[in-house]
Structures are given as structure tokens and as C-alpha cells.
Amino acid sequence: MECLDRTIVQVDVSVNGIPTAVKIANSGYKVIFATTSDYIVSQLKEYRPSLHRVPKPIFTKLLLEGMLTVTTDLENALTSSKTVLVTSHALGSEEETKNVMNLFKQMAPYIMPNSLIIYGGLAPPGTMEEIIDVLDKHSRLNVEKEINITLITPLDAQAEACIICSPNSEAANLTKKLVSVFIPSDMIKLYNRFREAEVANLLLVARRAITKALSSYALLMFKQMGVVIENVLNLSGCKAATAIEDDPLSEMVINYLVSEERRLPQRLTFMRNVIRMRKLLLEAIATGLKREIKSALKKNKDLRIACVFERESDKELMNIILPKKGVKVHFYSVDEIESKVNAGVGRIIPFSANLIILAAQPQSISEQMVRRLEEEAKLINLGGIVSI
């Protein structure tokens, strides 16, 4: 295999790979998104800012120009390109790993000779060895000689580096060429042993969540000692402990590391302590928010709160934080509100809210939406909130 196809076949059985597909298509490659689910087909075609992570005009342009298409015909998709990216994660449970192996089993008969197969999912150590075994059993090809297999740090991971791993240096460099159009070259590391790269990817994703939990917990501790936190933040570059932006991948890795820690014969508890720290941070966020609500209640006996959330887990957390009595609370998804903003609806919150709480990642909401929310009521923007 000497060069990359300009068409990339991306295979995924969840909505998690959709932002990656959009990112690759927006960088100039034609992407055929192949899935076994009609639901995922509908999700890819129906614009949602929190899922697609690009402005609607860009997404619409990609669809109209055929740069981004979706199909459930796995056989035809795989025969249309020799560059295949698989983005389903094999982390979380034995069932997740089994689903990924079944996916490669389905793909194996249709993979063309000299294809570049890139696996961009989070996986426990040993997964790549299992994938090669599956391809060996179910493909008509000689895997060692006719299929170029590469592991890459998930392209939706918020990590400081991108690892590209393959025993075949040509495959690794072709993969680097693909991702270097949207990842700076100095962030890309090449490696040749799968198991070590799998562990490194887990640490890359976990590092961000662990570091933030530790530094934010320390800030809370020193704040109680009377230290001027604003000065500490300026000197250290840490962020204030009012919100932590977490993502589903870091949640997945943290939970995996906690489960692995329990299997060790030694009584190690570091990861479980990280979970406890994050719970304390959630309580700190709740304290500040409850203070705001208490202040608003003093000014207005009839307090009506609208909570705009991105993830169901954020909605559940807000239900824990918000008072059970004395206020009326209505929940709305980011996508629901964003669609009203785009449609030019007069009032985007259907009932008169005194206070609006926005719990969503910054990249999932438009500036126009934030302005409209600010016009309709007092807005508390939590950013991404801690998931536990």
C-alpha cells in the first residue's frame, strides 16, 4: 500500500464515531460511515450541534457535496476503499469487547488486499492481538502480508498526544498522513508494539481527568485556609474548582481503572480516591449553585428554573443538586433549544423562567444560543459539570 485513498470507510456501531466522521470529512476526505444500526443512520443525517460539533452550514455542505454519506451495507462500503477506520470502543465490559470482535468478524470477508485497517477505539491491553486473530480466522487474506493494521489514540479523545502504533512503519506513516490534516504533527508519536500503546492510550485519556480532580481538590482545600485563590490560579495555570469538563472517554477509562484496581492483590485505592475527590467537587459546585438559588428565592418567591443540559448524566446530576421544594424546574436539551434558535423562534424557553442553568460543554453550544438565553433570564453557565 503506497498511498491513502481519498475515500475513508469509517465503521462504528454507536453514535460516538459521528463527530470523528464529520471532522475527517471537513478536512477534505470523503467519508462513508458504515454502521449496522438504522438509528445511527438517522442520528448522523439529523443535525445536532452537541453531536456533530460543527456549525450547521458546514454539516449541510458536507452532506450535499457527498463528502459525508452513511450506509448499513457493510459489504459495499468495504469494497469502495482500502482505508478503513473502526471507531467502536472495546472498553467498559466484556460485552463491549465482544461487540468489537463481532464487528471485525463481520468485516473480515469484505476487506480488500493491501488495505489499511485503523482501529481508533479505546481498548484494554491485548485487544489488538484479539482483533488480528479474528481477522486471521475470518478473512480470506494473509493478515500478516496483505492487511496493514494500525492502532491510533481515539480521535475524539481530549489528550495531549496522539499515538499511532503498527509493526509496519509504512502503515504507521500513512495513518500519520491521514490524521496530520487535523492533528499537529508534533503531537503525533509513532510506536511499534500494540500492548504498550494500548496502555499508553488509557493513561493519555485518564491523565486529564485525574490531574483536574487532584488540582481542583487542592484548590478547595487551600481556599478553606484563607489563600487568595485568584492569585494561585494565575501563578499555577490551574482552573477554578467550580466546574470540570469531563468527556465520556475519560469516564470510561476511570471506571475501567477502578475495576482493574479491585482485582489487584495489593490494597491500592488511588483510583477510588479520585472518584471520591470528584464527588467532593460536585458537592462544591452544588453549594455555589444552591447559594445562587437561595439568593434568587429571596428576590422572587415564584422562582422558575429552566435547566438546559447536554447529556442525560448532567440532567441526573442537576436533579440531585436542585432543591426539591419551592421552585419549578423544567429541563430542555441543548439540541432542542439550539433548533429553536436556528428557526428564529420568538421565545426559546417555552415557560417564563427567572433563572436559566446551562450545563453543557462549550463546544456544543453556539454564542447565539448563549445570548438568547441571557436575554430571556439570568443565566448561570456551568460549562461541563462533573460526571460521577
CATH number assigned to the domain comprising residue 303: 3.40.50
The verdict on 134 and 173 lying in the same domain is yes
Give the per-residue pLDDT at 387: 39
Which segment, 37-51, 242-256, 272-286, is predicted with the most confidence on average?
Answer: 37-51
Give the per-residue pLDDT at 243: 44
Instruction: Identify the domain boundary among 128, 158, 192.
Output: 192
Q: Is residue 251 assigned to a domain?
A: yes
Q: What is the pLDDT of residues 102-153, one digit of tens each?
A: 999 999 999 999 999 999 999 999 999 999 999 999 998 998 889 999 999 9
For range 193-201, the mean pLDDT: 96
Q: Which long-range contacts (CB under 8 A, 24 or more apart) does 143-148 make?
A: 146/113, 146/114, 147/111, 147/113, 147/114, 147/115, 147/117, 148/1, 148/114, 148/115, 148/116, 148/117, 148/174
The verdict on 169 and 52 lying in the same domain is yes
The verdict on 272 and 319 lying in the same domain is no
Q: Is residue 49 assigned to a domain?
A: yes
* Grid cell at residue 119: 482501529
Backbone angles phi, psi at 99, to 5 degrees: -65, -40
Percentage of the chain exceeding pLDDT 70: 92
Confidence check: pLDDT of 90 > 60 = yes
Q: Is residue 108 assigned to a domain?
A: yes
Give the per-residue pLDDT at 388: 31
Give the per-residue pLDDT at 240: 56
The verdict on 41 and 173 lying in the same domain is yes
**Which contiguous run of DSSP H or E holds residue 64?**
helix 56-64
The verdict on 134 and 241 lying in the same domain is no
Q: How far apart are CA 214 and CA 254, in angstroms?
A: 14
Confidence check: pLDDT of 87 > 90 = yes
pTM equals 0.77
Q: Is residue 200 assigned to a domain?
A: no
Residue 59: give its domain's CATH number: 3.40.50.720
Q: Which residues, other chains included, contact 22 with Cβ-Cβ below 8 Å and sequence gap of 6+? A: 52, 53, 54, 59, 62, 68
Q: What is the pLDDT of residues 298-335, one digit of tens each?
A: 777 778 889 988 877 677 777 777 777 778 889 998 88
The verdict on 165 and 108 lying in the same domain is yes
Give the per-residue pLDDT at 242: 46
Q: How many domains does the chain divide into?
A: 3
The verdict on 13 and 78 lying in the same domain is yes
The verdict on 270 and 315 lying in the same domain is no
Confidence check: pLDDT of 368 > 90 = no
The verdict on 52 and 162 lying in the same domain is yes
The verdict on 135 and 164 lying in the same domain is yes
Q: How far apart are CA 292 and CA 280, in angstroms?
A: 19
Q: Is residue 86 assigned to a domain?
A: yes
Instruction: Identify the domain boundary among 280, 297, 319.
Output: 280
Q: How far apart are CA 364 and CA 52, in angstroms?
A: 9
Instruction: Identify the domain boundary among 280, 297, 329.
Output: 280
DSSP E strands in 211-341: the ranges are 303-309, 327-333
For range 258-287, the mean pLDDT: 75
Backbone angles phi, psi at 309, to 5 degrees: -120, 160
The verdict on 180 and 131 lying in the same domain is yes
Give the per-residue pLDDT at 287: 72
For range 50-73, the mean pLDDT: 91
The verdict on 295 and 156 lying in the same domain is no
Q: How far apart are CA 52 and CA 202, in angstroms?
A: 24
The domain of 232 spans 205-280
